[in-house]
Chain A
């Protein structure tokens, strides 16, 4: 099975990745090969089997509503590729 160029492009768009034409074709083949292998799952009938919700059956883990230490503005922005006026800066977002 090969994933079509259109599908690869659609998924790339959702992933915010871009590929050249050659890369797109190759990605389609590689994904197809993995999905062919994944098809071994179809050999097992899972009708009515519960999907694993959580591997350990742990539930109800909560924290108390108590205020803790926040980062300073400088710490929060320390890794920012671009910052201005105490904020992260991105290319203009059109509303």
Chain B
């Protein structure tokens, strides 16, 4: 029995039954990583020794299978882990060892989850293909000539290729949902503030949110249970009552309204993606839901506003990488200012520099009103538009991406084209609302298609129930597997 092939909820059962120990499970994942990592390049660092230690301790404590106890997982390398490197896949942080734990990691450690290692990403979470990693290019397990998406490409691949029972990623403009879609797994961006950002290395503070990658929807609910919650260290954390997301997950969508919008269809959407959308609509009708036509007016404006807000915040958030207190300092320089310039110019990759430049430009004297303020006003209008939409439907159904995974190197020459791959995911971050991506089938090349459900703030439970219905209708896991082995 290969336990790495099980979902998280099946694994919990196996642990609880005593069918397998956490140690054996962890060893199985370590072996699996050993076998496929050379083809996929998902992990930046592994922590196998401490993982086995930790797994043994959980076995000894006898609570394996309770919550996430004894479950091996992977973390995106932008979440701080005390005593280990946290690199953000950047040269400038290649030697950074955090003196503290991020809140999510501390919480998972307390819950007994077993960390296997830290996974690859686009540098500072800036990108849509994981090609912007300073260290390696992670490959899509469904076709290793294609990108896994990004920025949380390593997180998506670790779950898609059974190299972790679940993983965490971060989503600023689609960085969980887009790679989840491209790799055929479930990925969720929770409501802004539901999961603490303390210890998540900031890209764009008002947009960043941590969320799970899992093999199915029930797994997603289990992981969300573990990571959602108020944190006094994060001023933007929401102090709301705890919800058990696994409760009534199978309730169905009878009588619920599913919104669909023409804005997310038409030109640019791959026909097979549209076909998957149509089948999903049919499945919801069959399940007793009502399909409601809604308009979303600001798709292009959301992406435009996103690039201004995200880059402006990033330009400020990334100013601290100056070679003074941590990180890499240039070897040769003359004087302080030159030290700053050389360290930053050598330490950051091209995309990071481009976004710092764009953000600095947008905030610089004379341009603030035209760009940043305008984008923040646009943000208000986008939130209002979503609020209007959710008066007429419970959740909204869209494709996660217009197309399936593209080839490695295919879009690296044109930044704007790369940015367009976030078109359907970005509005959600702009509004702070939650969304989930789940597999909707395969295209003719055998690449996964992702479908997205969007809900109003704090509607994760409702969204998960709707996703569960769709998952059963699509029956993706039963019919498709990456042709890795």
Q: Report which A residues bind B (CB closer than 8 A).
A: 3, 7-8, 10-12, 14-19, 27, 30-31, 33-35, 37-44, 46, 49-52, 54-56, 58, 61, 63, 71, 75-76, 78-82, 88, 90-93
Contact = CB atoms under 8 A, between A and B. Distances in A.
Nearest to B353: A17
A61 B192 CA distance: 16
B308 A33 contact: no
Contacts of B308: 38, 41
A81 B327 contact: yes
14 contacts: A7-B361, A11-B364, A16-B341, A27-B357, A31-B361, A37-B307, A40-B304, A52-B383, A55-B379, A76-B99, A78-B99, A80-B324, A81-B326, A91-B338
Contacts of B335: 91-92
Given A31-B358, A46-B377, A55-B192, 15 more contacts: A11-B361, A15-B319, A16-B341, A17-B345, A17-B356, A35-B361, A37-B304, A37-B307, A41-B305, A55-B206, A55-B432, A58-B236, A63-B232, A78-B97, A79-B327
A46 B364 CA distance: 21
A1 to B, nearest CB: 12
Contact of A11 (B327, B338, B360): B360
B323 interface: yes
A32 B323 CA distance: 30
A55 B380 CA distance: 9
- Interface of chain B, main secondary structure: helix
A79 B357 contact: no
B377 A91 contact: no
B416 to A, nearest CB: 5
A58 B239 CA distance: 10
B377 to A, nearest CB: 4
Interface in B288-340: 298, 300-301, 303-305, 307-308, 315, 319, 322-329, 333-340
A16 B337 contact: yes
B376 interface: yes
B60 interface: no
B390 to A, nearest CB: 15
A46 B358 contact: no
A46 B378 contact: yes
A31 B308 CA distance: 11
B342 interface: yes
B419 interface: yes
Nearest to B346: A18
A8 to B, nearest CB: 7
A41 B297 CA distance: 12
Contacts of B344: 15-17
Contacts of B305: 41
Interface string B347-382: 010000110111011001000000101111111110
Given A56-B238, A81-B329, A41 B378 contact: yes
Contacts of A51: 373, 376-377, 379-380
Interface range, B side: 35 or more
Contacts of B353: 17
Contacts of B380: 49-52
Given A16-B344, A41-B304, A50-B377, A55 B383 contact: yes
B193 interface: yes
B301 A91 contact: no
**Which 3 A-B pairs rank lowest in CB-CB distance, beginning with the nearest?**
A79-B326, A81-B329, A51-B376
Contacts of B301: 40-41, 43-44
Contacts of B206: 54-55
Nearest to A7: B361
Nearest to A53: B376
B17 interface: no
Interface in B235-275: 235-236, 238
A79 B96 contact: yes
B475 interface: no
Contacts of B419: 34, 37
B128 interface: no
A18 B326 contact: no
A2 to B, nearest CB: 13
Contacts of A11: 357, 360-361, 364
Contact of A46 (B303, B307, B361, B381): B381
Nearest to B384: A49
B120 interface: no
B431 interface: yes
Interface in B18-65: none
B145 interface: no
A27 B354 contact: yes
Contact of B192 (A3, A7, A56, A81): A56
A81 to B, nearest CB: 4
